[in-house]
């Protein structure tokens, strides 16, 4: 049977559940995922030598890491050729491209340092998202940045974030779509702090100063990402969940939830509905924590599916800004990216193919046995036939065929890198 024939049969089965598979693939085609640029080079970027700091870590030294903007762009193109649909690219400030021997420190970055990325995005009809880079830099002192007791340190990072807002607005204007700009700080303490309030008060004040510059709130969607701990910041983080939610709610910006940033049994899927009741828009970093915030490649696993279901069945596809955030340096990086992107798309498709209305109605009527029964039966519906059709009709390899392309790219391109 051809892919289309298998899809035809699957469609009939789903129709019996009241699910329109044709509509699901049409919807999925138009859902952009913000693809993080930093899987390609282990979060290194182009503006410094030296290690990744800030309580985050990549592990592994698989050969073929991108070393230049050209290499990273080529790698991104390879991934995009293997992933169905149209997406956004999520850049970090340390991916500035300096031309003609010029250099600007983080607090002096300008739109022109991202001109090449804008060209890249324009040529591909993609939008860009952005992030201040508040790590891997010597102005992060004693693991503190925007909350540091020294005003000089705080001011440096305030200037950096303000520069990033201007760059984000430039992205939005050039590309004709809003730019999601996410602030994450590593600030925290390894051991029990003597004063939890003062750093948070300083962080609050720094953020207020950052947001005090004029910018177009329709074009730049500023987010604030929380975190429960980092390496070397096990006992206290300044930007805790309560801090960021309250700050975002009171200042009209978006809270960002990264599903690696909570206690191990806490799940982001359960938080989305509450957040949507109080915020117009929220943002997510989709990742996979394995025992800690390890940023493993996103799987087509239960929690990823559950996150996607919460977005889809609450009709929140345009209210939830989702991007991926993982960095595995121990396997082929192009494959890591492709697997993660395809998996989140699968999760969205799975959610679109779920009999959401029927299940919700059963729950309302208290028919909970049937809710459980149907949720379990749906799991063995021919989801793969719909996914294959989606890949084929969007001109990307079906099933594991994409890996051939990666292998070829590894042999011809990646293996030649030093
Ligand atoms: C760190 C945060 C943050 C970073 C990226 C690189 O724990 O998740 O989002 O991973 O900004
Ligand atoms: Zn994150």
- pLDDT recorded at residue 101: 87
- Residue 79 contacts residue 337 (beta carbons within 8 Å): yes
38: Cα within 13 Å, side-chain hemisphere: 26
**205 is annotated as an active-site residue:** no
List, for residues 310-361, the tens digit of each pLDDT value: 999 999 999 999 999 999 999 999 999 999 999 999 999 999 999 999 999 9
Closest C-alpha to ligand 1, atom 6: 43
- pLDDT recorded at residue 115: 98
| 176 CB-contact burial (10 Å; exposed 0-12 / middle 13-18 / buried 19+) | exposed
Closest C-alpha to ligand 1, atom 2: 184
- pLDDT recorded at residue 271: 98
List, for residues 73-96, the tens digit of each pLDDT value: 999 999 999 999 999 999 999 999
**117 is annotated as an active-site residue:** no
**Which is catalytic among the residues 47, 225, 303, 388?**
225
- pLDDT recorded at residue 93: 98
3-state DSSP assignment of residue 60: coil
**208 is annotated as an active-site residue:** no
Substitution candidate for ligand 1 out of 55, 56, 294 with most atoms within 8 A of CB: 56
**129 is annotated as an active-site residue:** no
Quick one: which ligand is closest to 182's CA?
A: 1
List, for residues 153-209, the tens digit of each pLDDT value: 999 999 999 999 999 999 999 999 999 999 999 999 999 999 999 999 999 999 999
Pocket of ligand 1, beta carbon within 6 A: 38, 43, 56, 131, 184, 225, 227, 258, 285, 293, 325
- pLDDT recorded at residue 348: 98
Average pLDDT, the chain: 98
Is the pLDDT assigned to residue 418 strictly greater than 80?
no
List, for residues 371-409, the tens digit of each pLDDT value: 999 999 999 999 999 999 999 999 999 999 999 999 999
- Residue 62 contacts residue 118 (beta carbons within 8 Å): no
- pLDDT recorded at residue 389: 98
Closest C-alpha to ligand 1, atom 5: 325
Region of 42 (left: φ > 0; alpha: ψ -120 to 50; beta: rest) is left
**Mean predicted confidence (pLDDT) in 21-33:** 98
Q: Token pair of 241, please?
A: 């969940």
Quick one: which ligand is closest to 239's CA?
A: 1
Q: Token pair of 331, please?
A: 């396997």
- pLDDT recorded at residue 54: 95
Q: Say which DSSP state 297 is in.
A: P
Give the whole-angstrom CA distance, residue 109 versus residue 94: 10
Of 304, 333, 308, 335, nearest to 320 (Cα)?
308
Tell me phi and psi for residue 209, to 5 degrees: -65, -40
């Amino acid at each position: 049977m051809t892919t289309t024939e298998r899809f035809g049969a699957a469609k009939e089965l789903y129709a019996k559940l009241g699910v329109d598979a044709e509509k699901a693939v049409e919807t999925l085609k138009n859902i952009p995922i913000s693809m993080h640029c930093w899987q390609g080079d282990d979060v290194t970027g182009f503006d410094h030598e030296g290690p990744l700091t800030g309580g985050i870590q990549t592990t592994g030294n698989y050969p073929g890491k991108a070393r230049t903007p050209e290499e990273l762009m080529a790698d991104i193109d390879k991934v995009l050729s293997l992933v169905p649909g149209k997406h956004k690219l999520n850049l970090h400030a340390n991916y500035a491209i300096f031309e003609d021997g010029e250099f600007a420190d983080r607090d002096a970055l300008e739109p022109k340092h991202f001109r090449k990325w804008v060209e890249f995005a324009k040529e591909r009809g993609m939008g860009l998202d952005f992030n201040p880079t508040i790590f891997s830099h010597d102005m992060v002192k004693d693991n503190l940045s925007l909350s540091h007791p020294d005003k000089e340190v705080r001011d440096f990072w305030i200037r950096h974030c303000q520069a990033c807002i201007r760059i984000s607005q430039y992205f939005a204007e050039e590309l004709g779509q809003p730019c999601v700009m996410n602030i994450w700080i590593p600030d925290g303490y390894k051991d029990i702090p003597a004063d939890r309030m003062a750093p948070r008060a300083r962080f609050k004040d720094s953020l207020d100063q950052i947001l005090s510059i004029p910018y177009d709130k329709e074009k730049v969607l500023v987010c604030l990402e929380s975190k429960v701990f980092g390496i070397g910041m096990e006992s206290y983080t300044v930007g805790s969940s309560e801090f960021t939610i309250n700050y975002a709610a009171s200042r009209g910006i978006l809270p960002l939830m990264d599903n690696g940033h909570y206690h191990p049994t806490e799940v982001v899927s359960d938080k989305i509905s509450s957040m949507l009741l109080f915020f117009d828009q929220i943002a997510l970093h989709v990742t996979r924590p394995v025992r800690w915030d390890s940023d493993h490649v996103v799987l087509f696993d239960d929690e990823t599916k559950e996150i996607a279901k919460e977005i889809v069945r609450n009709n929140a596809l345009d209210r939830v800004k989702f991007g991926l955030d993982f960095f595995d340096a121990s396997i082929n990086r192009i494959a890591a990216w492709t697997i993660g992107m395809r998996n989140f798309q699968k999760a969205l498709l799975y959610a679109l193919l779920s009999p959401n209305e029927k299940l919700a109605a059963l729950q309302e009527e208290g028919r909970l046995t049937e809710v459980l029964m149907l949720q379990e039966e749906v799991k063995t519906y021919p989801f793969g036939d719909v996914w294959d059709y989606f890949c084929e009709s969007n001109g990307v390899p079906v099933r594991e065929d994409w890996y051939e392309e990666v292998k070829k790219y590894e042999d011809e391109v990646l293996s030649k890198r030093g």
